[in-house]
């Protein structure tokens, strides 16, 4: 019984952080139609930069975390301006092949970031200091205050994202872009303006989820491909482009990974996500909440 409760609590916390991470991945695909294979590298980038600033420059926790998130935002815009936009505007690449070029380019971008992080900081996992010290007991299990804060922060940010998209003018602009780029142009809204907003939000979401994940499980450059695979599995299970689907799918994948870590080995935490990915592609390719 104690083990079951521990799995339920830890699974909820890691699933909440996964959900926050998947929001950005899903938002980019739903609005711009891009499967960003550099996603895991951005999570790790934000975490390692934040850890470095806190550990070596002795910055306060929030200051270090802010710099980590800022690094994610900067690299998000670099990806857009140096990779995605040039491919999209290129007249040498056939229109029907541009998606493949972007997909390949994001993979190469991920390899560059991962290689730089590995060369500079090594492959040893780093852990960001907790937001709060101390423990509490919940249903006979020990729960740190830091774990509780991580879960609450993740859900609050997801709630803010939902409010932004559904209740603000800028958010509705993103929603309209996810439905039809042509319709957006008819309304007189420039697509570039939408993309600037989109990549900024993506950088913030990815950066925040990266530093939160590192505060709970740690982070290293070698984990980037697994984190990308987890996000991809979540988004495919939930339905490509569906933020609601990604939210619920995060808890499915998160709990499966937690069960595997406790009952088999932490080394195989990512495997259930990949099995689910293969299974969903065979049974229901559009996912749980897919649009088509």
pLDDT in tens, 19-70: 999 999 999 988 888 989 999 999 999 999 999 999 999 999 999 999 999 9
Q: Which token pair is 290?
A: 């897919």
142 has which bridge partners? 137
Beta bridge partners of 141: 138
Asked if residue 260 has pLDDT above 70, the reply is: yes
d(CA 235, CA 231) in angstroms, rounded, equals 6
Dihedrals φ, ψ of 219, to 5°?
-155, 145
Please list, in sequence order, all residues whose beta carbon lies within 8 angstroms of the beta carbon of residue 124, skipping any fewer than 6 positions away: 220
The mean-pLDDT minimum among 73-77, 93-97, 202-206 falls in 93-97
Residue 147: Cβ within 10 Å count: 22
User: In whole angstroms, what is the distance from residue 188 CA to residue 182 CA?
Assistant: 10
Mean pLDDT, residues 234-254: 89
Q: How far apart are alpha carbons 107 and 179 in whole angstroms?
A: 26
pTM equals: 0.93
Above 60 in pLDDT, residue 291?
no
pLDDT score, position 267: 83
Give the DSSP per-residue string, 77-143. Answer: HHHIIIIIHHHHH-SSS-GGGHHHHHHHHHHHHHHHHHHHHHHHH-SS-B-PPPSS--EEEETTEEE
Collapse the DSSP code of 168 into the 3-class scheme (helix H, G, I; strand E, B; otherwise coil) and give the result.
coil
pLDDT at 292: 46
Please write the tens of the pLDDT for every residue from 149-182.
Answer: 999 999 999 999 999 998 998 888 888 887 777 7
Q: Cβ atoms within 10 A of the Cβ of 264, count?
A: 12
Which CATH architecture is the domain 2-283 placed in?
Orthogonal Bundle (1.10)
Q: What is the pLDDT of residue 290?
A: 63
Model confidence pLDDT, tens digit, residues 110-128: 999 999 999 999 989 999 9
Alpha-carbon span 206 to 200, nearest angstrom: 10
Q: Which two tokens stand for residue 67?
A: 């710099």
**Residue 18: how many other CB atoms lie within 10 Å:** 28
Q: Is the separation of the CB atoms in 239 and 291 below 8 Å?
A: yes
């Amino acid at each position: 019984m104690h083990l079951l409760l521990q799995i339920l609590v830890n699974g909820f916390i890691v699933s909440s952080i996964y959900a926050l991470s998947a929001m950005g991945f899903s938002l980019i695909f739903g609005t711009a139609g891009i499967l960003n294979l550099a996603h895991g590298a951005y999570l790790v980038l934000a975490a390692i930069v934040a850890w470095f600033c806190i550990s070596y420059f002795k910055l306060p926790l929030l200051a270090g975390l802010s710099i980590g998130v800022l690094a994610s935002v900067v690299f998000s815009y670099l990806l857009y301006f140096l990779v995605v936009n040039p491919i999209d505007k290129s007249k040498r690449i056939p229109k029907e092949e541009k998606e493949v070029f972007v997909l390949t380019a994001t993979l190469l971008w991920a390899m560059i970031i991962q290689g730089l992080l590995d060369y500079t900081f090594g492959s040893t996992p780093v852990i960001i200091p907790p937001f709060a010290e101390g423990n509490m007991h919940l249903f006979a299990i020990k729960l740190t205050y830091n774990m509780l804060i991580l879960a609450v922060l993740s859900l609050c940010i997801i709630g803010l994202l939902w409010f932004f998209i559904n209740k603000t003018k800028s958010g509705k602009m993103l929603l309209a872009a996810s439905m039809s780029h042509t319709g957006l142009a008819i309304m007189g809204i420039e697509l570039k303006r939408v993309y600037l907003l989109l990549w900024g939000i993506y950088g913030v979401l990815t950066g925040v989820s990266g530093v939160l994940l590192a505060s709970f499980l740690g982070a290293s450059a070698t984990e980037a491909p697994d984190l990308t695979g987890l996000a991809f599995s979540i988004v495919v299970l939930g339905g490509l482009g569906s933020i609601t689907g990604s939210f619920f799918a995060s808890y499915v994948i998160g709990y499966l990974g937690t069960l595997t870590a406790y009952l088999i080995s932490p080394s195989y935490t990512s495997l259930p996500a990949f099995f689910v990915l293969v299974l969903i592609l065979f049974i229901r390719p559009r996912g749980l909440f897919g649009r088509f």
